A and B are shown apart, each in its own frame.
Chain A
Amino acid sequence: MTDTAIIHVAHARLDAAAAPDFRAMLDTKVGPECTRVLLDLSAVEFMDSTGLGVLVWLVKHVGDRGAIAIAGTRPAVATLFRLTQFDTLLPICGSEEEARDALSL
């Protein structure tokens, strides 16, 4: 199913060092036909502004044609999402099941 991408992010730290790799991975997995993206961040312990910048890029990249849901945010990541209002852009779900429901998968 190329219209759906389910991505388990393996980086423990999504920072400036990891961002280029993370973005290249998203670019590969989220093609132009992709309309639903489930991003599992449960392995991500820390995210900085550069890592968050890649997620903002993903939101713009998918745009109005599709939907993104995020699952498994750790507390530090959740704080960053709250401060920047990123959590108002898309569903931040407690589990992968919830995220699947949010995307009607």
Chain B
Amino acid sequence: MVQAPNIRPRIFDADDPALTVGSDRLGVLIVDDDDAVTRFLGDALAGMGCEISLAHDFDQAIRQMHVGIDMVVTDLRMPGRDGMDLVRALRGSHDRAPLHVVMITACKDEETIGLATEAGVDDFLFKPVDPVKLMLVLSRTRRSVRLHRMLQRRNTMLTRTHERMRTLLCELRDDLDAAAGMHRRLLPREEQLPGLRMTHVYRPATMLGGDTIGAVTVGEGRTLFFLLDVQGHGVRASLASFHYHRRLQQMAPADADALSLAMQRLNREILAEKEEIYATAIAGIVDVPAGEGWIIRAGHPEPLVMQTGGGAADETRRLDTAAAFPLGWFSQAEFRATRFPFAAGTRLVIYSDGLLDCCDAAGVPDAQSLAARIDTCRDRPIAAIGALVERLLAHRDGDMPLADDVSLLAIEPDCASGALHDRTDS
């Protein structure tokens, strides 16, 4: 059996040379104008496992400083610039490096010690140098250098891990962007729907949503339209809604019976997935030349209908439709289509419940309030409905993310279209 490849990207690289434990070797620079002192200290420290460099004055010492130096042992009194100057120069240029600085002096007065400490001296050795104290100083240095090296390794590891995570996040975001783009390309386009005018709003709560809107021509003058809202949101809901959208398009039902069968089939297909996922849906067919349509509502809010140019009695209202369970709940569920008039001047508006939450009255989703708002667009072009909902969302969320995906589709017969005129003439 072929093992699935491990595609989880590697964030931590155990072979990274920056993370390997370094040696305990200490590089020591001894700075003293007295050869006897440098020889004594050099021999003693070399005997304790140190790698020794020597300098006799300030300038030599600065030239000898390189990456491998972990500890500087300097005399205080030297001709020219003295040990104090050297310590200040080292701390000035190597402040971030793990450098342990030891000063050798015969002078024990408080002022000198204070100044040296302020300049950055870590330890003092008093002349004549006691070998035991030298060993203690070296041991402290080792501990300090070891700690510094460990911190450096961890910092390097964190920096690299952070960079890798950032790269992975960018890749992930690009992937999600690409998927969201594919989902968005499923949205209906008016120029592909002869005989209809439409507007839609599609606003996923996260980068990828579980809502999907579709409209496609399924025959002479007939258009299949639907709005599905898959439970939840994010990648899982989005993948499911993309798939269900495609299935409905493939089945392309062109009359009421075919629409019922398509919904039944999709219902059973969702149940067969054993994913414990479901979708609420509205799907319908409009026949523009015949001036009628059929609609199936599966666990979804009722559609709204409005009459353009009508009187006060024609205000936007909920369309009375047979109700069915959401898709994916019960295998025996039935999906009966309700016929409705779709003559010139009729607009049908379908939407996901995420939009109702934006029109709630005291925390209660309110379809009546949504109908009243949409009614203000009655005598304006259909695009005004989409614009109104966009304004509603902008007014509501501000910088706050939406709690649920929001989508809406409004359609009306295009009276100027040839499809309508053909039937009128015949």
Contact = CB atoms under 8 A, between A and B. Distances in A.
Task: Please indicate whether A and B come from the same complex rather than being unrelated chains.
Answer: yes
A83 B301 CA distance: 6
A49 B363 contact: no
B214 interface: no
The listed residue with most A CB atoms (<10 A of its CB), out of B231, B300, B360, B404, is B231
Interface in A39-64: 45-46, 48-50, 52-53, 56-57
A28 B97 CA distance: 59
B329 interface: yes
B324 interface: yes
Contacts of A52: 231
Nearest to B329: A56
Q: What DSSP secondary structure best describes chain A's contact surface?
A: helix
Interface in A59-104: 75-76, 79-80, 83-85
B52 to A, nearest CB: 64
Nearest to B326: A84
B364 A84 contact: no
Contacts of A34: none
A49 B280 contact: yes
Nearest to A83: B301
B188 interface: no
Contact of B325 (A48, A53, A75, A85): A85
A46 B362 CA distance: 12
A85 B323 contact: yes
A48 B404 contact: yes
A39 B55 CA distance: 85
B278 interface: yes
B291 interface: no
Interface string B277-302: 11010000000000000000001110
Contacts of A5: none
A75 B278 contact: no
Interface string B319-338: 00001111001000000000
6 contacts: A16-B232, A49-B232, A75-B363, A80-B365, A84-B280, A84-B325
Interface of B: 229, 231-232, 276-278, 280, 299-301, 323-326, 329, 353, 356, 360, 363-365, 403-404
Given A56-B329, A75-B363, A83-B353, 17 more contacts: A16-B232, A45-B363, A49-B232, A49-B278, A49-B280, A50-B231, A53-B277, A56-B278, A75-B364, A76-B363, A76-B365, A79-B356, A83-B300, A83-B301, A84-B326, A85-B324, A85-B325
